[in-house]
Amino acid sequence: MTTKTITVVRDLLATNKQAAAAIRAELRARGILCINLLSSPGSGKTTLLEALADCFRGRFRLAVIEGDIETERDAERIRAKGVPAWQITTGGACHLEARMIGKVLGDVPAAIDLLFIENVGNLVCPASYDLGEDLRLVLLSSPEGDDKPAKYPQAFLSADALVLTKSDLLPYVPFDPGRAATEALAIKPSLKVFTVSALRGDGIDGLAGYLTEALERLRSGRA
Amino acid sequence: MHELSLVASVFEVLEEKAREHGAVRVTAVVLQVGIMSGAVPDLLESAFEMFKKGTIAETARLEIVVVPVKVRCPDCGGEAVREDTDFSCAGCGSRRVEIVEGRELVVQRIELET
């Protein structure tokens, strides 16, 4: 019996990265901007999507892929806004992977402008999985506390924009948006920061403008 | 807790390499795990122990090499290991740094018995 050591150097996320690259190429060819939403549970991802659906109505066609451990509830809320939605129930898995998106992609109508993926509520695991998106938004709600960026750096490091949600609750909770933004920018200096209240509609236009510019860049081949 | 899914990928690599080299047993696995990879070494170890029963790596030991964050600065050309979540350049303070190490999730090498 001989023992030998073999150098392998294999990325454990290689399969996911390949699947994500295929999704990105397909969506870009179709002129669709794909946005992955990451946050802890209850920080307002679905409510933000409802507000964006209202804001974009008549201008852009949206579609949403919802990731949850159980239930169709989020997809039903989105459909009630007249936006097609697909629910992926992971049955316990804490994040979405690219191949799960790949399975749904064939059902997504060709004639849409923006495809949102609402990831499973979790500020840890989803950060490691590229889903083929063009933009990754990380949400942080005021009741969660402004100290979260340094505690969950991977999520903020992997994002393109930070959306501070539930600004309507700022008078009632000890949350300093400036501190949250400073901590997040120390991790990722290029983050764009938005402060919104999806319930009141505050700040939604600014975020919508950012997404519109990204869509225009993608369609003019400058993405 | 996505470590189980990561360890499943480790076993795909082990089975492939064992077949390729005609091995009867995998006796050791070395993983590189970056601090910013999002995976927790302790959880990877537990998942590995759970997973290995009844496989070709039943008796294998897992060695995890934790990789710290290293940044490279395009402004001054400096490289430095950063220990907290302040990823600015240690040399010139620039914030435009690029993370060059610390996000790895890599099967580095394995030890086989043939």
pLDDT-above-90 percentage for chain A: 91
Contacts of A93 by beta carbon, 8 Å cutoff, 6+ apart:
A69, A120, B2, B5
B109 touches B30 (CB < 8 A):
yes
Contact B107 A189 (CB under 8 A): no
Q: Is the pLDDT of residue B58 over 80?
A: yes
Alpha helices (runs of H) in B31-81, residue ranges in sequence order: 41-52
Question: What is the number of domains present in chain B?
Answer: 1
pLDDT mean over B10-32: 96
Confidence grade of residue A222 (pLDDT, cut at 50, 70, 90) = low
Confidence grade of residue A17 (pLDDT, cut at 50, 70, 90) = very high
d(CA B36, CA A157): 9
Whole-prediction pTM: 0.91
Name the more confident of B85 and A207. A207
B89–A contact, CB cutoff 8 A: no
B88 contacts in A (CB within 8 Å)? 186
For the stretch A106-135, pLDDT in tens is 999 889 999 999 999 999 999 999 999 999
B84 contacts in A (CB within 8 Å)? 150
d(CA A10, CA A84): 38
pLDDT computed for residue B100 by the predictor: 94
pLDDT mean over A170-175: 97
For the stretch A22-70, pLDDT in tens is 999 999 999 999 999 999 999 999 999 999 999 999 999 999 999 988 8
A94–B contact, CB cutoff 8 A: yes
Q: Tell whether the torsion through CA atoms of A64, A11, B31 and B17 is positive or negative.
A: positive
Spell out the domains of chain A, with CATH numbers in brackets.
Answer: 14-137+199-219 (3.40.50.300)
B3 to chain A: closest CA residue: A125
Cα distances (angstroms) measured from residue A222 to each of A213, A214, A216, A217, A219: 11, 9, 9, 5, 7
* Residue B92 belongs to domain with CATH number: 3.30.2320.80
pLDDT computed for residue A200 by the predictor: 97
Contact A8 B112 (CB under 8 A): no
Residues of the domain holding B52: 3-113
Q: Is the pLDDT of residue A223 over 70?
A: no
pLDDT mean over A185-195: 94
pLDDT computed for residue B59 by the predictor: 96
pLDDT mean over B95-101: 89
Contact B113 A11 (CB under 8 A): no
Q: What radius of gyration do chain B's Cα atoms show?
A: 17
3-state SS, residue A44 = coil
A38–B contact, CB cutoff 8 A: no
Quick one: tokens of B91?
């040399």
Averaged confidence pLDDT in chain A: 95
